Amino acid sequence: MLKKLRRKLFAEIELSDDGAFHQDGLVYTRSECEKALDSLEDQTNLKHHAYLLHNKPLLAFLNNGDTSIFQAPQLESAYLDNAFQEFVGPFFAPRFDKALLEAFKMDVADSTIGSSRTTLENVLKLSVLIAPSYESIAYRSLMTELQARIDQLEELSAELKEEESSYDEDNVYELVELTTGLIPVHSLNKLPIIFQSLRNKFASQANSIQHAAFNSFYVPQVSHDILEYVLNLNIDSAGKPIFVKNYNFFKAKYNEQIQLDKYKDVIHKWASYVKELNELIGKVNNKFVKPNNVILNLQLDELNGLDSFADEIRDTVAKRVRELSVAVWNSYKDHRKSMQLLQVACSISTTKPVRDQLVEDQNQLAKLRSQSVEVTGTPIESAPNLHLINGCGTTLYDSTLYFVIFGIPILPIARYNYESFGNQYRFYGKLKLRTFQVVWRYLFFALVAYLVINAIW
């Protein structure tokens, strides 16, 4: 039968105009026909040819790529035969490769909620016909397409890290749409295990993008939305805990951001107040504003009445009031105003670390005040009277004002912090008498009292 068929077929080829055999719109050369006929000499191949002759949809797909076989594919036992898979592999793999890529693109484009996405699934059902030796051919085009998408994500990540992208604080939210558009989760999850490494790469690049975006723009919503979307991807167990951990972190940050947006006007108000404090501190440091002109206008009850979201605001305001107190002390050594400002700072409901710092500052200021009094003295309203008649009267010896008789210091009256310029004096403050001077005063008055009483007696 084969010999008769061969003679008849070659006769038709000889009589044809182009020296080829035509069937079902396809053209076969003489060598192709000889090769096909030779394969029939093998009984196994003959069985496969017989099966294909009766499986019209599969035969049409192998011959000309007719995709009607995917409309309602039925998996037959012959599809699981390794010998049959190897037999049809050279023809099935390239046809399947093209059909799979087209089905994937259609599935990605069909993103309508609740729509029926059966095309890709139906194509994948026939992947059982792919022999292991032909997998690289059958999945080549789709893998190339997916790798191109991964390369786009990698390029975007590099641009963000190097701050060379076109994104800024205003359009950074577009990153979510771009990233999720390049990662069609619902379609990727349908692909077989051979695509698992690519799924992991998609997740890794998405994580890299959200991380770079957060470092550049500090917008937790972008990171939250990207990670929330990517977690729907079938990631292998080794990498998923990292993405879950990152997602939980940015979810908390995103919730905080929602709360901050809720109180945006309040935050703006107190941010402006802190700015005013900073300007006032600068003026005091440069001695453009004197202590008596330092006015806070702080709405203390309102600030303390804010919810816990304002803890950082209260701490910041208290720290700035403290800095203002330090500026007043450094520029003017005005203990009263500095302490008053510190007391205002302590009246703010700050967190414990800030409160402890303010209390410590109060104690430190009190010590500085004590040390300052020892060195500069207490303020005086007028200079002491310095007057001598015939060597008797009051005059200064070193820092002490004495009552003298014939130039001999008899009684220490007071001590002063002053500077002398010839016969001119500039007094800065009144100092405490030294201990021996105080003792001498008591002894002097006691002696005078004794002499007066004795004289009267």
Instruction: Please name the amino acid found at residue 412.
Output: P
Q: Between 344 and 437, whose confidence is greater?
A: 344
Please count the other Cβ atoms lying within 10 Å of the Cβ belonging to residue 234: 16
Query: What's the confidence (pLDDT) of residue 369?
Result: 63
Rounded average pLDDT over 352-364: 89
The pLDDT > 90 percentage for the chain reads: 47
Q: By mean pLDDT, which of 94-108, 111-125, 267-281 is the weakest?
A: 111-125
Q: In terms of pLDDT, which residue wins out, 93 or 291? A: 93
Q: Sign of the C-alpha dihedral, residues 245, 246, 247, 250?
A: positive
Burial class (CB in 10 A: 0-12, 13-18, 19+), 420: exposed
Residue whose pair of structure tokens reads 């700050």 in the numeric block: 350
Inform me whether the pLDDT recorded for 86 exceeds 90.
yes
313, 321 contact by CB (below 8 A): no
Helix (H, G, I), strand (E, B) or coil at 413: strand
The H-or-E segment that residue 151 falls in is helix 140-161
Question: What pLDDT was estimated at residue 430?
Answer: 80
Q: What pLDDT is recorded for position 304?
A: 92
- Over residues 226-267, the pLDDT tens digits come to 999 999 999 987 778 989 999 999 999 898 888 777 888 888
At 84 the pLDDT is 94
What is the distance of C-alpha 356 from the center of its chain? 30
DSSP label at residue 306: S
**In this predicted structure, what is the pLDDT of residue 111?**
55
Residue 91 has pLDDT above 50, yes or no: yes
Q: What is the mean pLDDT of residues 200-227?
A: 93
pLDDT at 298 over 60: yes
Give 184's strand partners.
Answer: none
**Which has the minimum average pLDDT: 51-60, 417-426, 439-448?**
417-426
Residue 199 carries which side chain, given as an amino acid letter?
A: R
Q: Kindly state the average pLDDT of the residues 139-145.
A: 97
| C-alpha distance from residue 294 to each of 275, 282, 287, 291, 325 (Å) | 15, 12, 11, 5, 10
**Alpha helices per DSSP H over 16-42:** 30-39
Please check whether residue 230 is in contact with residue 181, taking contact to mean a CB–CB distance below 8 angstroms. no
Q: What percent of the chain has pLDDT over 70?
A: 96
Cα angle 193, 198, 199 (rounded to 5 degrees) comes to: 75
In this prediction, residue 370 carries a pLDDT of 59
pLDDT in the model for residue 372: 55
Predicted confidence (pLDDT) at residue 112 exceeds the cutoff of 60: no
Handedness of CA 446, 448, 453, 457 (dihedral sign): positive
Q: Positive or negative, the Cα torsion across 309, 310, 316, 318?
A: negative
How far is CA 378 from each of CA 361, 394, 429, rounded to the nearest angstrom?
22, 21, 5
pLDDT of residue 113: 42
Among the listed ranges 63-72, 274-283, 343-352, which one has the minimum average pLDDT value?
63-72
Q: Kindly indicate the confidence band of residue 39, based on its pLDDT and cuts at 50, 70 and 90.
A: confident
- pLDDT, residue 249, reads 93
Say if residues 321 and 271 touch (Cβ distance below 8 Å): no
pLDDT value, residue 114: 42
Q: What are phi and psi of 221, to 5 degrees?
A: -65, -40
Per-residue pLDDT band at 122 (split at 50, 70, 90): very high
Structure tokens at 375: 């060195």
Question: What's the confidence (pLDDT) of residue 191?
Answer: 96
Please give the distance of CA 222 from its chain centroid, rounded to a whole number: 10
According to the model, what pLDDT value does residue 274 have? Answer: 93
What's the pLDDT band for 117 if we cut at 50, 70, 90?
Answer: very low
Distance CA 241, CA 252 (A): 17
> In this model, does residue 365 exceed pLDDT 60?
yes
Element (H or E) spanning 396, and its range?
strand 392-397
Q: What is the pLDDT of residues 179-201, one digit of tens each?
A: 999 999 999 999 999 999 999 99
- The DSSP annotation for 366-380 comes to HHHHHHHHHHH-B--
Vertex 152 angle, CA 150 and 154, to 5°:
70
Q: What is the pLDDT of residue 64?
A: 87
Q: In angstroms, rounded to a whole number, what is the distance separating the alpha carbons of residues 437 and 382?
A: 23
Q: Which of 246-260, 297-311, 417-431 has the lowest mean pLDDT?
A: 417-431
- SS3 label, residue 379: coil
Per mean pLDDT, which of 18-27, 222-231, 290-299 is the most reliable?
222-231
- pLDDT for position 116: 43
- Mean pLDDT across 322-334: 87
Q: pLDDT band for position 115 (50/70/90)?
A: very low
What integer pLDDT is reported at residue 377 of this predicted model? 63
Contact 313, 359 (CB under 8 A): no
Alpha carbon distance, N-terminus to C-terminus of the chain: 170
